[in-house]
Structure 1
Amino acid sequence: MKKAENFKAFEETVQKLTEKHMIPGTSVAIAQEGEIVYHKGFGFRNVEDALPVTEDTVFGIGSITKSYSCVAIMQLQEAGKLNVHDPVIKYLPEFNVNNKEALKQITIHHFMTHSSGLPPMSSLVYAMKRSMDIDPSAQNYPGLKIEQENYEPIDTYEQLMQFIADQDFELLGDPDTQFSYSNDAYALLGTIIERVSGKSYEQYVYDHILSPCGMKYSCFMIEEYGDYENITTCYAEDSSEGTKRIIPAPIWWDAPSMRAAGFLKSTAGDMLRYAEIFRNAGVVNGKRILSEESVKEMVKPHIQTQPGRFYGYGLMITPDYFGTTLVEHGGGLKAISAQLSILPEKGVSGVVLTNLAGVPAARVMQLAFNAYAGREVEASHISFEEYEIGEERLEQYQGEYESNEGMKVSIVIKDGKPVLISQKAEIPIMFVKENAFIAYVNDSTEIAEILVDDNNEPWGISYHFRQFPKVSTKQVVK
């Protein structure tokens, strides 16, 4: 009975989150040992026609696609066609960065773990440019106003490598020393998969992952669904008339050169089939998709992303999540906020899919796992104590931080307390170490780190899994 009561509390909490964030539709599903034990559709896949959300409703999954790219790489390693410790330039001789010595050392493994040293870049915007140019709602998507010269669309892998080579940047550090989330690295994994397998990236994923897993509602292109109607409408936030409202925004964004980084579409049912790879040591429906050894490598904590949290291959790893290991990844893009989470030791997997960007899918997943485990719905696996930071140090942290990817945040002091400003929102923050703080963003806790040089001088910030530099010290709020 306790579980039933918990799910009642869970659904009430999610309904409040849905109303607060104005989420049109949400699909939540949990499986135990591969069998779906809970599914709930909140809201609608199409609000205007009141069409329900089911286990087979198609949503975008965004960057959860990255784990598929790593499954493909591991399959190709098992087939003897590559090794994850091979230098990237063995397969991509056109790939180039300023630091020629580091260039020789960057391996496939570094691309898979976001540890190549590549900083955030604006290439994703140009890769999506053809979609965005025909989409009236593109202006409503936060963080895409890139303030630099206008490039032509990046349609091919070769154009992407040329774009990277043309950029004037320093690597964040030697390979394997710095974690910074890189869509470019993952796009180029798609290039390697194509060149090594002799198939297009999309065809390889279909033939070797989607089809053998029985994922019949998972495709890269919306046109591939043909007459299938159980597909969500895309929605976007619009504040052009002074008040926030959610509007239908039917154009799906695409980026041919970056599909390996985040453009697969799927359903709750299909995603839980896919999760079996990691829950069941590589076997789905009696078919071996990956060796047990390859799965172990994918869920190994290769590099720290935040205190207590690590990156494997295309997956985030939390070794102590209420005493067990959590394997997960999120995804976000226009009309997409998605979360896939697996507790392999417990035999549990879960997925949350929504049709609006920037909403707390990961938080909904945490609440669902709490309900399923019989915990208080709002329980957290981590707790923080406030660190008293000196006024002089806080002054040094003030200023604007900006990445070439379009992300911009500021740290200011308001009424004597530090505040993070992101997308015009003021977010209270609490320091938990000399150079680390937590921010409560979109009903989720985000950990950020101030990056300092050898002289302990702040030069940048690690936020939302990206490293980006401080660009000014001006005070934004008096």
Structure 2
Amino acid sequence: AFRRAQDVLIVMRRLLGFLRVGCLAILVLPAVGQSTATPHRQAPSLATLDQFIPAQMQKWKVPGLAIAVVQHQQVIYSHGFGLRDIRRNLPVTTKTLFAIGSITKSFTSVSIGILNDEGKLDWDKPVRQYIPECQMYDPVASERMTPHDLISHRTGFASHDLVWYSSDFSREDLVHRLRFLQGNRDFRSGYNYNNMLVMTAGYLVGKISGPGWEDFVKQYIYRPLQMTSSNFSVLDSQKTADFAHPYRKDEHTETVNEMPFYDIHNVGPAGSINSNVEEMARYAIFQLGDGKAGDQQIVSKSNLELTHTAQVPMGGQPEFKELGPRNYGMGWVVTSYRGHRMIWHNGGIDGFYALLSMLPDEDLAVVILTNLQDQPVPEVVAYNIYDHMLELDAIDWSGRFQQLESKQKAA
């Protein structure tokens, strides 16, 4: 399996820093960002993806994949490929629900931005002023930790994922237990990816807003972006007519097997959202814009841009020379691709792997959702699209990732 070395829901993958259905068309969605009057050059055709994506899926044994490419406020390519359910031979469509894992974190950072716009929360006031029950093992962190710290992984708090994974602790229980869990570096001394503190940020959103994190996201993000199918639980996905089943590949035999759905409601703000590429395309357009959905301002442009701004170096060297040094923003990894500013996050959770990657200066984004964990097809496809759209020399990214996998297996 493609080994992950850093957490991106449970462990962040060691990348920078996972039968076609539908029709090829340019789909114009309701405006969700500021449109521009500047004329754009004709984008290169993405028709070659019709063959490229199935070939990569076959190579890496990915059962199903859905993709949307957006540029200049439009979806310029959108397809479903392969199967959402192998046993019943059911195809993936652009409406198929997949878990998006840690891409959820950006919904939580936008939520904090909205509360900041409303004057209900200050990014840089101590969390204890809003939720006194939130105390850390480190008294300095207890005294000074802010919403800004919670969402940018710079508290020095160790991951402690086993505390929440496979537990029935509520969010309130988990927040209360923070005081008993040690960090592994000094407060604000560096990057430590941490799901429990992003969960705490969502818990904070719920405590300030009243109804809870899920209801807040539904009202202030889902509703204006018309994300009517998106939900917060794999249990809810299974009640719908079009949802993907989760799969994993045996590390030794490479056989692909279905695995159980895993519900992570207790750390929901860090990774529980399920969505489809049609609705995630709207979200990507919003992220590339000025914080609006049509005429409705969801979050201020300044707060949206703040979430895209580097807050802490992630350390380490990129695996490939084409990728720039990695920094974490607020729910986003901030880096570069072949000299172009790139903002991205992936999401890996039991049986699913997703990627939302953006080149803001080119007003370009790629959303890829799959139902196989631990594989690099979303990155392979996204980088191929970037090379094509930027008219750069093509790189065999699939071969590069194969070499990386071989090196990891030999280590």
TM-score of the pair, normalised by structure 2: 0.79
> SS of the residue aligned with 2:155?
coil
> SS of the residue aligned with 1:180?
coil
The 3 A distance-change label for structure 1 pair 26 and 420 is closer
Matched, 1:61 2:100: yes
1:376 CA drift (Å): 3.5
The 3 A distance-change label for structure 1 pair 98 and 248 is closer
The 3 A distance-change label for structure 1 pair 236 and 313 is same
> SS of the residue aligned with 1:212?
coil
- Which runs of 5 or more residues in structure 2 are unaligned? 1-41, 318-324
> SS of the residue aligned with 1:247?
strand
The 3 A distance-change label for structure 1 pair 2 and 112 is closer
Match of 1:266 among 262, 275, 280: 275
> SS of the residue aligned with 2:369?
strand
Letter in structure 2 aligned against 1:183: N
Letter in structure 2 aligned against 1:96: Q
Letter in structure 1 aligned against 2:258: P
Match of 2:185 among 158, 162, 172: 172
Match of 2:357 among 337, 341, 345: 341
1:366 CA drift (Å): 1.6
1:90 CA drift (Å): 1.8
361-370 vs 289-298, greater mean Cα deviation: 361-370
Letter in structure 1 aligned against 2:197: A
> SS of the residue aligned with 2:283?
helix
Give the whole-Å Cα distance in 1 for the aligned partners of 2:212 and 2:130: 15
Matches within 5 A, 1:248-327: 248-249=258-259, 251-306=260-315, 308-318=325-335, 320-327=336-343
> SS of the residue aligned with 2:219?
helix
Give the whole-Å Cα distance in 1 for the aligned partners of 2:375 and 2:253: 18
Give the whole-Å Cα distance in 1 for the aligned partners of 2:285 and 2:384: 21
Tell me the equivalent position of 1:353.
Answer: 369
Letter in structure 1 aligned against 2:256: I
Contact 2:151–2:330, Cα closer than 8 Å, also in 1? yes
The 3 A distance-change label for structure 1 pair 84 and 379 is farther
1:18 CA drift (Å): 1.8
Letter in structure 1 aligned against 2:180: D
Matched, 1:234 2:246: yes
> SS of the residue aligned with 1:369?
helix
1:420 CA drift (Å): 10
1:172 CA drift (Å): 1.0
Give the whole-Å Cα distance in 2 for the aligned partners of 1:225 and 1:333: 15
Give the whole-Å Cα distance in 1 for the aligned partners of 2:184 and 2:406: 26
Matched, 1:36 2:36: no
Q: Going by fraction, where is strand more abundant, 1 or 2? A: 1
- Which runs of 5 or more residues in structure 1 are unaligned? 130-152, 384-418, 428-478
> SS of the residue aligned with 1:213?
coil
Higher RCO, Cα 8 Å, sep 6+:
2
Tell me the equivalent position of 2:34.
Answer: none
Aligned residues: 355
Contact 1:32–1:348, Cα closer than 8 Å, also in 2? yes
Tell me the equivalent position of 1:73.
Answer: 112
1:272 CA drift (Å): 1.1
The 3 A distance-change label for structure 1 pair 120 and 97 is same
Give the whole-Å Cα distance in 2 for the aligned partners of 1:128 and 1:282: 33
1:280-310 CA-partner distances (Å, limit 9, x unpaired): 1111233211111111211111222246221
Give the whole-Å Cα distance in 2 for the aligned partners of 1:115 and 1:269: 33
Tell me the equivalent position of 2:255.
Answer: 245
Larger Rg computed on CA atoms: 1
1:50 CA drift (Å): 2.7
97-106 vs 199-208, greater mean Cα deviation: 97-106
Give the whole-Å Cα distance in 2 for the aligned partners of 1:106 and 1:15: 46
> SS of the residue aligned with 2:113?
helix
1:364-393 CA-partner distances (Å, limit 9, x unpaired): 22222223333344278xx9xxxxxxxxxx
Tell me the equivalent position of 1:94.
Answer: 133
Matches within 5 A, 1:39-54: 39-54=78-93
Contact 1:276–1:283, Cα closer than 8 Å, also in 2? no
Contact 1:277–1:289, Cα closer than 8 Å, also in 2? no
Matches within 5 A, 1:367-386: 367-378=384-395
1:4-58 CA-partner distances (Å, limit 9, x unpaired): 4x752x5555434322321111112101122111123332112233322222111
Tell me the equivalent position of 1:121.
Answer: 160
1:245 CA drift (Å): 1.3
Matched, 1:209 2:221: yes
1:223 CA drift (Å): 4.3
Letter in structure 1 aligned against 2:303: S
1:180 CA drift (Å): 1.3
> SS of the residue aligned with 1:163?
helix
The 3 A distance-change label for structure 1 pair 222 and 248 is same
Tell me the equivalent position of 1:181.
Answer: 193
Tell me the equivalent position of 2:8.
Answer: none
1:112-147 CA-partner distances (Å, limit 9, x unpaired): 110011112134xx5342xxxxxxxxxxxxxxxxxx
CA RMSD, Structure 1 to Structure 2 (Å): 2.5
Tell me the equivalent position of 1:161.
Answer: 175
1:238 CA drift (Å): 4.0
Letter in structure 1 aligned against 2:330: Y
> SS of the residue aligned with 2:177?
helix
Give the whole-Å Cα distance in 2 for the aligned partners of 1:226 and 1:26: 18
Contact 1:268–1:353, Cα closer than 8 Å, also in 2? yes
Tell me the equivalent position of 1:440.
Answer: none
